[in-house]
Structure 1
Amino acid sequence: MNKYILLFLLALVTLSCRTIRDNGVYQTTKKEGYYHYVRFYKDSVVLTVSSSGEPHHLKKWFNKEKEDISKGTFTIKNDSIFFKSSSENGIVVYKGRIKRNKMKLYSKSKINGHTSTREYHFERFK
């Protein structure tokens, strides 16, 4: 019986490491005066934005109800995540690896061809 409990707990820990958090934002380190942010929702909606503001500044306006923001839907398979984020300017394609509080994303802009790889860490909204 103890063996089954241990396996169950191990499965929970493994799954929680691959879970996207939705009570805040994933943020890069600041480069050239800007952070890059990604926000996820339980219904598979994803938002992306670049901003000079800190996470608590974004809380009021960085949400899926805002019309003029880059958004899309995400899919997760094992520890990989895929999504496209669309705005009035065009589409950026993202793919990467997730852990509970960290994420590494490769992106390619269909707008201008720019590619990048960025590491994100989770910041909970306060």
Structure 2
Amino acid sequence: MDVLQLVNTHVKLLSFDFLTLKPIPHEPTIFSRKGRRLSRAETVGIVVSRDFKPNRFIKFDIDDGTGCIPCILWLNHESSHHFSRRCPSNVRLIAQMAADFASQIQLGVIGRVRGKISSYRGVQP
């Protein structure tokens, strides 16, 4: 296995690390850091902001002591064509899991976030 290839591995990153990520041209879901290709990350910190839109999403920031990492948990699984095509038999289960996670995201709570690294509305990590 190529040690520089960490695309399907959740790599532990600090906020400082997120700031050094560079998008890979023509590969919108792959980023580069110090020559390593990444697509997934994990971080731990305190929830310092929270913007909840029922049945749509919850945006929140995790502060790990080096800065804040913006996160989004999508809650529109049952109304999204993307999710219904991708995993039609599990949509309700996934929607319920997302709703359960969203209820745990409260200001001041320590949380661990694992997910895909991406940009949203032109803003990258």
TM-score (norm 1): 0.28
Higher RCO by CA contacts (8 Å cutoff, separation 6 or greater) = 2
Provide the TM-score with structure 2 as the length reference: 0.28
Looking at secondary structure, tell me which structure has more helix per residue.
2
